[in-house]
């Protein structure tokens, strides 16, 4: 009789050479290898595998570029070795969300949807059980790629460059910030740029995933939270009472939000409201979070201080602005394989490669969070 393999058996049948082991080795399933809220960060050890690939293979398509600056006939053009990425996006939310190992192609967990209530009874009364209801939640792992190709000519001709402001996380961690990174050859440069592109795509998807109905993306915070515990401003201006109401919605449903995300324009609105309401000085509103990202506004709420981190991926359009209050104890990035380098088969006089991540964002209970939406200027 053939054995039927369902979701619960996928983990036990995963081969030892699978994607999970490639990223995490002997770490057990559901191991929180990065949790900024608990001071846990094992990525330095895990990063060694990627570093080996970087050193062994070296990175960008080198055939495109602008014209050089014409000079006096006998004077050569000297190009600044420092390259500035004018398209750079900050990625603080990649750092804010705990990353948890995941075996298998789905992230599964159990939830209690109904709990039998306790009762008061007389002495020696007949006692009936109170039933509890459980359910299984399952989220599919999604696959992200950044692909590059470097020609043999570019590898032979590129001098050493420095990519200014490169940080694999892009968040400006404490003590490091956006430090420059050396790219001794064309392929190394391409790989650094693709690593940044992959992190920026991950950051954008954390907020906007599936809002474009792309089935290949995991659902982002905006899609997952939807209308749950929302203060809908209906294109009116934000007021401080809206903050108190939104936080109370999450509190009454059992949540304890400990961070908030919004657009830069919404953050400006919040700062003005707090200054006008409490006569704060701007310097009184700043803090540094456990994972090194600075917050330039901390809201004092009924659940305690809530730092606000702006994202470059949330809308600044009036009438479409929003702020999300999140309980990070119940939000995870479940990772089957973290950022990994891999080469394609060699064709022509070039080398093609990819960086990839297998992961999915899960919010175990959206009722623990809240939001204020449709804010106008």
Kindly report, residue by residue over 283-308, the tens digit of the pLDDT: 777 777 766 667 778 898 999 999 99
In angstroms, the CA 370 to CA 7 distance is 31
Kindly report, residue by residue over 96-126, the tens digit of the pLDDT: 899 999 999 999 999 999 999 899 999 999 9
In angstroms, the CA 361 to CA 332 distance is 6
Kindly report, residue by residue over 214-243, the tens digit of the pLDDT: 889 999 999 999 999 999 999 999 999 999
Average pLDDT score over the chain: 83
Residue ranges and CATH numbers for the domains of the chain are 18-62+79-104+140-218+333-363 (no CATH), 221-331+365-376 (3.30.2320)
Band (pLDDT 50/70/90 cuts) for residue 77 is confident
Exposed / middle / buried, residue 377 (Cβ in 10 Å: 0-12, 13-18, 19+): middle
Beta-carbon neighbour count of residue 113 at 10 Å? Answer: 10
Report whether pLDDT(324) > 90.
yes
In the chain, which ranges are continuous DSSP H helix?
7-13, 19-24, 43-57, 92-96, 152-157, 186-208, 221-225, 240-252, 264-278
DSSP state of 118: P
Kindly report, residue by residue over 139-152, the tens digit of the pLDDT: 999 999 999 999 99
Specify the length of the chain in residues.
Answer: 377
Report the pLDDT averaged over residues 326-344. 94
Q: Is 201 helix (H, G, I), strand (E, B) or coil?
A: helix
By C-alpha distance, which of 25, 172, 180 is closest to 89?
A: 172
Band (pLDDT 50/70/90 cuts) for residue 49 is low
Q: Would the pTM of this model clear 0.85, i.e. be above it?
A: no
Q: Which two tokens stand for residue 256?
A: 């304890």
């Amino acid at each position: 009789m053939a054995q039927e393999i369902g979701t619960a058996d996928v983990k036990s049948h995963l081969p030892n050479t699978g994607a999970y082991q490639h990223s995490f080795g002997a770490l057990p399933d559901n191991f929180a290898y990065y949790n900024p809220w608990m001071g846990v960060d094992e990525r330095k050890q895990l990063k060694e595998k990627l570093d080996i690939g970087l050193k062994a293979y070296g990175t960008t398509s080198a055939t495109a570029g602008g014209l050089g600056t014409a000079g006096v006939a006998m004077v050569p053009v000297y190009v600044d070795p420092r390259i500035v990425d004018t398209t750079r996006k900050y990625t603080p939310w990649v750092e804010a969300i705990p990353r948890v190992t995941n075996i298998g192609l789905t992230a599964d967990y159990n939830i209690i949807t109904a709990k039998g209530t306790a009762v008061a009874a007389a002495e020696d009364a007949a006692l009936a059980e109170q039933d509890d209801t459980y359910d299984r939640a399952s989220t599919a792992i999604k696959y992200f790629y950044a692909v590059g190709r470097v020609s043999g000519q570019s590898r032979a001709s590129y001098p050493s460059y420095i990519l200014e402001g490169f940080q694999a996380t892009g968040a400006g961690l404490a003590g490091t910030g956006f430090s420059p990174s050396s790219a001794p050859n064309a392929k190394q440069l391409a790989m650094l740029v693709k690593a940044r592109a992959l992190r920026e795509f991950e950051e954008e998807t954390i907020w906007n995933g599936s809002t474009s109905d792309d089935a290949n993306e995991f659902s982002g915070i905006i899609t997952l939270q939807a209308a749950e515990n929302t203060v809908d401003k209906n294109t009116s201006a934000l007021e401080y009472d809206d903050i108190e109401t939104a936080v109370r919605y999450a509190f009454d449903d059992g949540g304890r939000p400990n961070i908030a995300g919004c657009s830069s324009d919404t953050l400006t609105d919040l700062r003005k409201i707090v200054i006008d309401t409490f006569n704060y000085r701007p310097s009184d509103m700043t803090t540094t979070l456990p994972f090194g990202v600075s917050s330039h506004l901390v809201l004092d709420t009924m659940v305690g201080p809530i730092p606000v981190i702006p994202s470059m991926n949330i809308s600044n359009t009036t009438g479409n602005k929003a702020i999300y209050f999140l309980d990070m104890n119940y939000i995870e990035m479940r990772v089957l394989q973290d950022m990994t380098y891999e080469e394609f088969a060699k064709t022509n006089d070039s080398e093609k490669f990819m960086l990839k991540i297998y992961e999915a964002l899960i919010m175990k209970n959206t009722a623990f969070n809240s939001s204020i939406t449709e804010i106008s200027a």
